[in-house]
Amino acid sequence: MSARPTQSMINHDAGATPVSALAGVGPALAESLKRLGLERVQDLWFHLPLRYEDKTHVTALADLRPGERVQVEGVVEAVESGFRYRPQLKVAIGDNVGHTLLLRFFHFRRAQTEQLRPGTRLLCYGEVRMGAQGLEMVHPQYQRVTEDAPITVEERLSPIYPTTDGLGQKRLAGVIGKALALLPPSAELELIPPELCAEHGLSSLREALLYVHRPPADAHLGQLTLGRHPTQQRLAFEELLTQHLSLKRMRAAVRRRHAPVLGGDGQLRQRLRDGLPFQLTAAQQKVSGEVAADLVQPKPMLRLVQGDVGSGKTVVAALAALAALEAGRQVALMAPTELLAEQHLRNFRHWFEPLGIEVEWLAGKVQGKARQKALQRVADGAPIVIGTHALMQEGVSFTRLGLVIVDEQHRFGVHQRLALRDKGLEGEQVPHQLVLTATPIPRTLAMSAYADLDVSSIDELPPGRTPVQTIAISNGRRHEVIERIHVACREGRQVYWVCTLIEESEQLRAQAAEVAHAELSAALAGFRVGLIHGRMKPKEKQAVMDAFKAGELAVLVATTVIEVGVDVPNASLMVIENSERLGLAQLHQLRGRVGRGAIASNCVLLYQPPLGQLARERLQVMRETNDGFRIAEKDLELRGPGEVLGTRQTGQLSFRIADLEAARETCGAIDRALGRWRRPLCARLGARYRWLLREGLPCSMLTSRSKLAGLLPKSRIL
């Protein structure tokens, strides 16, 4: 047994120290860190890198290959700035033996042009890609080097962290370095019992944290990039374990509450079925029956309905809503974006108004007197209200809320779902909860991702849907893809062009979309090309989407903000740039934006060669099938549940199914033997789990404190 920490060590844990206590962290920096959820020193420990840059050596220009991220050295040979379509700075560097590389900048200052004169020696880092004039880097990092000065390289791989506007990588890494200096010894830091760590081959937490933040120069970059390094799996195990523990506790707490019995006479539901222009599929009928059986129980329903795009989840939700209305209760439906919420609003009004049921609308865009009137109608008992996060805000009150429906649960988080649930608290009685997701989830993964929910699957599509034809094309044939877009536009069809640059800030994603927008605007003269990305204001995004839906735009260049909630039947072609960088689930969601009308639709997966084995398999699966459940199973097989469950804190962590099962088994062992130990583990993983502590969730199935003595130091039994 390792040495036991003293009680003073536990009570004065360095991890609980506010970040403002670190040297050099003033109010402005503390506020930036807070926007990332980093308020305590231990939050910084668990703020893990998204990826790594290898600046430990310099690659010769002669050895460059498209798709690699490398550090190169060269001398500026020529500089050109052009303004034909938009400002652009091109800098050619060479190695004096005939090899050259083009550096391209779309955002630059006049001072940069002066700094990058011919003859200037540069050290650059970036991704090599094949451009129209040969190999190039777009917006590389660079520094000027004195002509005869030796090149200094990094001693370790450089971590790239999730960050926010106004907080650069260098400054954030410096703060994290100061936090790591406060890491206590392993015996004080470890919360998982040594016996369980040894049983599952887990390294110490201290070792894992130091390694992922400071990987040595000889670290296996491939393993780290895929999240398969043992130290990353150690951190993934702890988070999966904590998530499972927390969700089970939440489920137990909610199940102890009461809920209204939503039986009703079934007349409204039958009238809806009779009025539908189609018959429910067998899967829809089965899931509707499972939901109805939950609603007539005096215990709160906690059910997830998953189904592929177009499988008919909305009709199932509508039938559940009518059961609540038949019982004299209110219904609230919350969606993550106004686009998706408006789509639900149109569907429910189309179905419910013939039944004499008014559907209320409450979103951020509802302002002034219109908002006050909507709030009053909800407070007076409006039967059903549909909206966004606005439903959770202060001032929104219900009289008899009986059912909460949440679409795309993963876009909200459990705590936000609970916040809406609490709008319907009546003593010990809470509303029923129905959660929808268009991302099919394999059963093994769902048991951990949604341990607080029962899961129902709509695993068949309505007859008559034409599958989207999918092809994968190298970026070297980009001009052919643009010509195909030209043909589609001439035929009156609309096109999505999705930019999926995976970087550490929304700013760079927006820049990638802007570059594609400029390129397509020039190539598709005579057709309007729109642009939408995450840095635009909500009203600006809404205006662009409205123009696209109205057919005023032929092409929409977008980041992945269009992943859900966009329904434009005339859009029949989608191009996904850098498709090799995305997982199967996201690729499938994006592809689901086309094929929503009667026109045969196509999806082009544009990739940057050379392809790794994992990326090659993903693209092959997308070409072979449109079945979301098969894709989900393959995604689980290729990436592992830890990566699929990856969060902002842990980045992309890979895990085998056996590891997920081990985490669940360990969770059971901790449930039975460790009791209140769950709290410090949940607290340590930061803001994501603090709401669980505020819930005051009790621990069940606890053994006596005497049984804990053999597993944990007494001072750790809080």
Q: What is the DSSP string of 617-669?
A: HHHHHHHH---HHHHHHHHHHHH-HHHHT--TTT-S----HHHHHHHHHHHHH
| HSE-CB of 694 using CA atoms within 13 angstroms | 8
* Six-digit token string for 672: 């039975």
pLDDT in tens, 40-95: 998 899 888 988 999 999 999 999 998 889 999 999 999 988 766 567 889 999 99
pLDDT of residue 707: 25
Structure tokens at 283: 């899967």
pLDDT at 11 (0 to 100) = 34
pLDDT band at 668 (very low <50, low <70, confident <90, very high): low
Q: Which CATH class is domain 469-625?
A: alpha beta
Given pLDDT bands bounded at 50, 70 and 90, which one contains residue 474?
Answer: very high
Residues 661/447, Cβ–Cβ less than 8 Å: no
Q: What are phi and psi of 711, to 5 degrees?
A: -110, -35
Q: By mean pLDDT, which of 327-341, 478-492, 497-511 is the weakest? A: 497-511
Residue of 627 and 135 predicted with greater confidence:
135
Cβ atoms < 10 Å from Cβ of 237: 25
State the average pLDDT over residues 680-705: 38
Residue 705 has pLDDT above 60, yes or no: no
Q: How confident is the model at residue 222 (pLDDT cuts 50, 70, 90)?
A: confident
| Two structure tokens written together for 611 | 């392809």
Q: How much is the average pLDDT of 549-567?
A: 81
- Cα separations (Å) of 392 from 250, 275, 339, 424? 19, 33, 18, 11
The DSSP code for 465 is P
pLDDT at 252 over 90: no
Residue 258 pairs in a beta bridge with: 429
**Is residue 77 within a helix (H) or strand (E), and if so which, with residue range?**
strand 69-82
Amino acid at 716: R
What's the CA dihedral at 684, 685, 691, 692 to 10 degrees?
A: -80
Q: Is there a contact between 602 and 572 (Cβ–Cβ < 8 Å)?
A: yes
Q: How far is CA 300 from each of CA 249, 260, 386, 429, rounded to the nearest angstrom?
A: 15, 8, 21, 8
**Confidence grade of residue 699 (pLDDT, cut at 50, 70, 90):** very low
Mean pLDDT to the nearest integer, 247-259: 77
pLDDT at 133: 82
Q: CA-CA distance, 417 to 704, in Å (whole number)?
A: 34
Strands annotated E in 507-629: 529-532, 555-558, 571-577, 602-607
pLDDT at 237 over 50: yes
CA–CA dist 136, 51 (Å, integer): 22
Residue the block writes with tokens 């050099």: 24
pLDDT in tens, 535-548: 788 778 878 988 99
Question: pLDDT higher for 418 or 28?
Answer: 28
As a dihedral over the C-alpha atoms of residue 708, residue 714, residue 715, residue 717, rounded to 10 degrees, the angle is 20
Summarised one tens digit per residue, pLDDT across range 94-105 is 998 889 999 988
Q: Which two tokens stand for residue 500?
A: 């999926």
Q: Which residue has the higher pLDDT, 466 or 110?
A: 110
Tokens read off for 84: 């034909």
pLDDT at 696: 32
The CATH code of the domain at 57-145 is 2.40.50.140
- 71 contacts: CB under 8 Å, gap ≥ 6: 54, 55, 57, 58, 59, 123, 124, 125, 153
Per the rule left: phi > 0, alpha: psi between -120 and 50, beta: everything else, 427 is left
pLDDT in tens, 329-362: 999 999 888 878 888 999 999 999 999 999 999 9
For residue range 296-333, list pLDDT tens digits in order: 999 999 898 988 877 889 999 999 999 999 999 999 99
- For the cut 90, the answer to whether the pLDDT of residue 403 exceeds it is yes
Spatial contact of 244 and 451, defined as CB atoms under 8 Å apart: yes
Asked whether residue 516 carries a pLDDT value surpassing 60, the answer given is yes
Confidence of residue 23 (pLDDT cuts 50, 70, 90): very high
Domains 57-145 and 469-625 fall in the same CATH topology: no
Query: Does residue 113 contact residue 162 with C-beta atoms inside 8 Å?
Result: no
Residue count of the chain: 718
Q: Which long-range contacts (CB under 8 A, 24 or more apart) does 536-540 make?
A: 536/510, 538/338, 538/364, 538/365, 539/365
Task: Give the sign of the dihedral formed by CA 67, CA 69, CA 72, CA 75.
Answer: positive
State residue 694's pLDDT score: 36
Grouping H, G, I as helix, E, B as strand and the rest as coil, residue 577 is strand
Cis omega (within 30 of 0) for bond into 641: no
- HEC states along 364-387? CCCCHHHHHHHHHHHHCCCCEEEE
Confidence category of residue 714, pLDDT binned at 50, 70, 90? very low
* Residue 541: per-residue pLDDT: 84
pLDDT, average across residues 446-464 = 73
Cα within 13 Å of Cα(222), Cβ side: 3
User: Residue 597 above 60 pLDDT?
Assistant: yes
The confidence score (pLDDT) of residue 629 equals 79
pLDDT of residue 583: 82
Q: What is the mean pLDDT of residues 642-659?
A: 39
pLDDT for 223: 83
The ranges assigned to domains in the chain are 7-50+161-251+656-716, 57-145, 257-458, 469-625
Distance between CA 665 and CA 514 in Å, rounded?
A: 48
264 confidence band (pLDDT: 50, 70, 90): confident
Helices (H), 571-625: 584-591, 613-624
Which has the minimum average pLDDT: 327-331, 464-468, 708-712?
708-712
pLDDT confidence of residue 290: 97
Q: Does pLDDT of 654 surpass 80? A: no
Name the CA dihedral angle for 380, 384, 385, 391, rounded to a multiple of 10 degrees: 80
As a whole number of angstroms, the distance between CA 19 and CA 700 comes to 34
Is residue 693 very low, low, confident or very high in pLDDT (cuts 50, 70, 90)?
very low
Residue with tokens 């599509």: 461
C-beta of residue 42 within 8 angstroms of C-beta of residue 15: yes
Per the prediction, the chain carries an average pLDDT of 80
Q: Yes or no: say if 532 and 559 are a contact pair by the CB < 8 Å rule.
A: yes
Instruction: Based on DSSP, count helices (H) and strands (E) in the chain, helices before strands.
Output: 28, 22
Mean local confidence (pLDDT), 4-32: 73
At residue 390 the predicted structure's pLDDT band, cuts being 50, 70 and 90, is: confident
Of the candidates 69, 72, 79, 39, the residue with the CA atom closest to the CA atom of residue 58? 72
Q: How many other CB atoms are found less than 10 A from the CB of residue 710? A: 10
Contact status, residue 135 vs residue 129, Cβ threshold 8 Å? yes
Rg (CA), the chain: 27
Task: Tell me: pLDDT of 503 over 50.
Answer: no
By C-alpha distance, which of 212, 94, 120, 118 is closest to 161?
Answer: 212
Q: pLDDT tens-digit profile of 562-573?
A: 755 567 888 999
Q: Which two tokens stand for residue 312?
A: 């008919």
Q: Are 330 and 384 in contact (CB under 8 A)?
A: yes
Asked whether the predicted pLDDT for residue 13 surpasses 80, the reply is no
Topology annotation, domain 257-458: Rossmann fold (3.40.50)
Confidence of residue 9 (pLDDT cuts 50, 70, 90): very low
